[in-house]
Amino acid sequence: MNGAVERNPDHWVDLARDRISLDGKPITTKRGIYILLYKPKGYLTTYRDPEHRPTVYDLVEDLGAWLAPVGRLDLDTSGLLLMTNDTAFADHVASPAHLVSKTYQAKAATLLSDEQIELLRRGVQLSDGPTRPAEVRRLRDGPKHTFIEIVLTEGRNRQVRRMIEAAGSRVLKLVRTSIGPIRIGDLAVGKWRRLTEEEIAALGGRARPPGRPTSNTSAAKSAASTRFRARKTGCGSKS
């Protein structure tokens, strides 16, 4: 940093004033990429699988850029998955503190009573603690199964499945239909599209423009000062 090796991972960096390079190459800010993918059932939300099962990265190879998923969907769940190279945006959307809603439609293995649905609304006790109250709506009842819509503001591992199990049933089919105001719409399964600037803003983010190497010029000094904690060896990792 500024021509000297910085070994302190807690050192504060000013992107408008400090000159930062890695292996002799100036670090620049890439243009933000924000996509919505309709993840199919049977695809893992991971980069590489030791069992060589298909992953969501197989569906976005044509992008030619490294993206990280915003949260995860398990192997047997389909639906809306956001992916981006903007870690600040991803953290904002995924963090339970920001109350960004996630909406799912589930097919239960049994008919659910009004009492069971009310239990889901109030919150259930899971192994990792009680869940927050949820919005739950009965969509319809079939001869043997109830279909519900459930809206959560937290994203624990397999949360919808575990909640319905705690209520005395189990999930046969699960689809995430929206995150905040962003819906899948008529997007085909396995396909992706870019988010619009309006959609990014609706999720609490701001599209990140391409950056330039930082310098000590007067133009750089007049730029807005953005601070972040330097992460040890973080610049070269795919995370």
Active site members: 74
Are the CB atoms for 182 and 203 separated by under 8 Å?
Answer: yes
Are the CB atoms for 78 and 38 separated by under 8 Å?
Answer: yes
The type of residue at 188 is: A
Distances from the Cα of 155 to the Cα of 6, 35, 55, 63, 159, angstroms: 36, 19, 20, 27, 7
Q: Measure the CA–CA gap between 72 and 145, rounded to whole angstroms.
A: 26
Instruction: Look up residue 196 and give its DSSP letter.
Output: P
